[in-house]
């Protein structure tokens, strides 16, 4: 050893990793419960709490059970939930989405009536509500972009009327943010912010979600409206359009395979940025943990911390309650 005259390191990063107290002192990224948005699946059925097979710990909830879940989230310090709906009837237009008695409208009213101090965000799309499973009405074998814009405006007005605090369009239609802003403003909902799924990729990580809400497309796929996972420049262009159209916050989705996109959007725009840690990302961690191959709690915290470090100000995650409990100690 000594013969090799290897120089002794003068700079030693390990000095700052020596004790818990020092590691705590130099930690750069801090996760808090305030970073989470908790997605919930609300079904039209009564008295229901049905676990989703591919998403252990997540449920299809009847309205009364959804209210209880929101209260639990609020008690854990989670600032917002986002609602997805399973309607009684699906049709070509997804008309449940803009009916005052639609499942989302019922859920929003019930939650706002009984839980204070937590924001209710509505996912604004059609795929859970159309009989064909696409994100807008079909014309000539594909989603009719401009016809969808009008229906989106009707949908958000109806959500706002029910009491939604924020709307989150996820359909990747061109012009959707401008259409929604115009719709809301025309009914004096100027104060309702838009969290735009600005950069949403056509991803296979959505598999378990489609089981959860029975929204798999009945023909074709979503690649003519959601983005190609290979494209980063296009992601910035999509985000820029939504900023111009009046988005208040941006989202990148999915999260784990797209952390470079999260970072680039964060560095390019100064709007608050959300990342969606989607159903397949949740399912993979759950499945590997169940097999005993990884430590679920540590992998969960490492993933969420990584997303925040990559630039997410907020994380939509099915782990919200579990992670908030860990953070509470
Ligand atoms: C569409 C929507 C999807 C998700 C959220 N909003 C599915 C899709 O585009 O097929 C997926 C969320 C997840 O996988 O957790 N309204």
Question: Does ligand 1 lie within 6 Å of residue 127's CB atom?
Answer: yes
Closest-CA residue, ligand 1 atom 2, reads: 170
6 within domain boundaries: no
5 within domain boundaries: no
15 within domain boundaries: no
Contact 129, 96 (CB under 8 A): yes
13 within domain boundaries: no
pLDDT in tens, 181-205: 999 999 999 999 999 999 999 999 9
Quote the Cα angle for 262-74-329, to 5°: 80
Residue 304 CA, ligand 1 centroid: distance in Å: 19
Active-site residue set: 200, 253
Q: Is the pLDDT of residue 1 over 70?
A: no
- The pLDDT assigned to 3 comes to 80
Question: Does ligand 1 lie within 6 Å of residue 282's CB atom?
Answer: no
The parent domain of residue 188 ranges over: 30-328
Residue 182 CA, ligand 1 centroid: distance in Å: 24
Distances (CA, A) of 260 to 240, 251, 253: 17, 13, 12
pLDDT in tens, 140-181: 999 999 999 999 999 999 999 999 999 999 999 999 999 999
Cis peptide before 296 (omega within 30 of 0): no
3-state SS, residue 32: coil
Percent of the chain, pLDDT > 90?
A: 96
Q: Can you spell out the DSSP letters for 94-153?
A: -GGGG-TTSHHHHHHHHHHHH--SSEEEEEE-STTTBTT-SSS-EETTEE-HHHHHHHHH
CA 253/CA 227 separation, integer angstroms? 10
Closest approach atom of ligand 1 to CA 208: 14
Question: Does ligand 1 lie within 6 Å of residue 256's CB atom?
Answer: no
Which residues, 6+ apart, have CB-to-CB distance to 24 below 8 Å? Answer: none
pLDDT in tens, 235-265: 999 999 999 999 999 999 999 999 999 999 9
CATH number at residue 144: 3.20.20.70
Which residues, 6+ apart, have CB-to-CB distance to 279 below 8 Å? Answer: 54, 55, 205, 206, 207, 208, 209, 212, 318
Out of 94, 170, 197, 226, mutate this one to test ligand 1's pocket (max ligand atoms within 8 Å of CB): namely: 170
CA 103/CA 284 separation, integer angstroms? 29
Closest-CA residue, ligand 1 atom 5, reads: 170
Does this model's pTM top 0.75?
A: yes
Residue 105: both structure tokens together: 């409208």
Domains: count for the chain: 1
């Amino acid at each position: 050893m000594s013969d090799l005259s290897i120089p002794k390191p003068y700079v030693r990063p390990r000095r700052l990793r020596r004790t818990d107290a020092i590691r705590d002192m130099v930690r750069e990224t801090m996760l808090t419960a305030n970073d989470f948005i908790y997605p919930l699946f609300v079904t039209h059925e009564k008295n229901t709490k049905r676990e989703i097979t591919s998403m252990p710990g997540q449920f299809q909830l009847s309205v009364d059970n959804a209210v209880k879940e929101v209260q639990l989230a609020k008690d854990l310090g989670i600032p917002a939930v986002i609602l997805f709906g399973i309607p009684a009837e699906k049709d070509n237009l997804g008309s449940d989405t803009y009916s005052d008695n639609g499942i989302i409208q019922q859920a929003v009213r019930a939650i706002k009536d009984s839980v204070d101090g937590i924001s209710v965000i509505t996912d604004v799309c059609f795929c859970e509500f159309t009989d064909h499973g696409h994100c807008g009405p079909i014309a000539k074998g594909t989603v009719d972009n401009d016809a969808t814009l009008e229906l989106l405006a009707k949908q958000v007005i109806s959500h706002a009327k029910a009491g939604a605090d924020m709307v989150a369009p996820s359909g990747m239609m061109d012009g959707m943010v401008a259409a929604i802003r115009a719709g809301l403003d025309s009914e004096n909902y100027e104060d309702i912010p838009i969290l735009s799924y600005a950069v949403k990729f056509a991803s296979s990580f959505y598999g378990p979600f489609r089981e959860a809400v029975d929204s798999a497309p009945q023909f074709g796929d979503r690649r003519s409206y959601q983005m190609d996972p290979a494209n980063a420049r296009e992601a910035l262009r999509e985000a820029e359009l939504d900023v111009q159209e009046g988005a208040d916050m941006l989202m990148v989705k999915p999260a784990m395979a797209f952390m470079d996109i999260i970072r680039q959007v964060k560095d390019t725009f100064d709007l608050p940025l959300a990342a969606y840690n989607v159903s397949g990302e949740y399912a993979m961690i759950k499945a590997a943990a169940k097999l005993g191959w990884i430590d679920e709690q540590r992998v969960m915290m490492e993933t969420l911390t990584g997303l925040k470090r990559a630039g997410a100000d907020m994380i939509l995650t099915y782990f919200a309650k579990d992670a908030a409990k860990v953070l509470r100690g």
